[in-house]
Structure 1
Amino acid sequence: MKKSIIIVETDQSILDVLIILLTEEGYHVKGTVKFQEVETLVNIEQPKLVILEFKLKGLDAIKLCEQFKREFPSMVILAISCNEDIETTSAISGFDGFIAKPFEIDVLARTIHLMLN
């Protein structure tokens, strides 16, 4: 069975590319640009990994991470952001990892592989 990934990304073009690339890597991938869909999507899919844009308008990524960790303790949550200062905040807040944008796709793929294996 393929490992499931949910991606929450504000830029539709980046989201589309990530879905294609990670699907080609053998993962079952769903994504959204709408923060209102995140909780429902995670509850339905119950993914192994959530890639979460740290700065989503109208969404507190830290609270969402804490909620997912309570509901799904084995879920891995990776923060992504163009603000590198968030790396420390994300680590303190319970995220399992952080990748700064822009990122190399091979770095992202390697990070995901390590986090899921």
Structure 2
Amino acid sequence: MAPKTILVIDDDEDILTLLTTILKDAGYAVTVGRDVTSVYEIEKNPPALLLIDNWLQGKSGHDICWQLKNDLRTIAIPVVLISATAKLDETAQRCGADDFICKPFDIDVLLQKVGRFAPFQR
């Protein structure tokens, strides 16, 4: 069975590399993006999970999340915000995110939350 795909969007190259390595080592397929353009055609090939930084250049992750969660074509795609933002829990709740991960993050917590939305099927 093909691994589940996680779309990771972050404008920090180091964070993208770190998250990609962790998720691939855990057995996931990973696609990456650096800005809002990564979600333009997400409904055509939806990932198992969207892991998105809350603060991106041009448009915030919480704005992207709000748009996805208010569109019938993308409402079912799980979205997890990741950020060092204060009160990320409140931001995640307001935009309809399915969960959040605070930076700096614990790898086990990251994998637990990702696994909740993109469990392995064996």
- TM-score (ref. length: structure 1): 0.86
> Percent identity among equivalent residues?
27
Q: Paired residues, what number? A: 116
Please tell me whether residue 15 in structure 1 is matched to residue 49 in structure 2: no
Higher helix content, 1 or 2? 1
Give 5+ residue unaligned stretches, structure 2: none
Q: Please say if residues 36 and 64 of structure 2, whose CA atoms lie closer than 8 Å, have aligned partners that are also in contact.
A: no
What stretches of structure 1 move > 4 A for 4+ residues in a row? none
CA distance in 1, matches of 2:62, 2:104: 21
**Equivalent residues in 2 for 1:1-117 (5 A)?**
1-33=2-34, 35-40=35-40, 42-43=42-43, 45-69=45-69, 70=71, 71-117=73-119
Q: CA RMSD in A?
A: 1.8
Q: CA deviation at 1:12?
A: 0.5
Change in Cα spacing, 1:98 to 1:36, as seen in structure 2 (3 Å) is closer
CA distance in 1, matches of 2:18, 2:74: 27
- TM-score (ref. length: structure 2): 0.83
Give 5+ residue unaligned stretches, structure 1: none
Opposite residue 94 of structure 2, the aligned amino acid is: I
Change in Cα spacing, 1:38 to 1:7, as seen in structure 2 (3 Å) is same
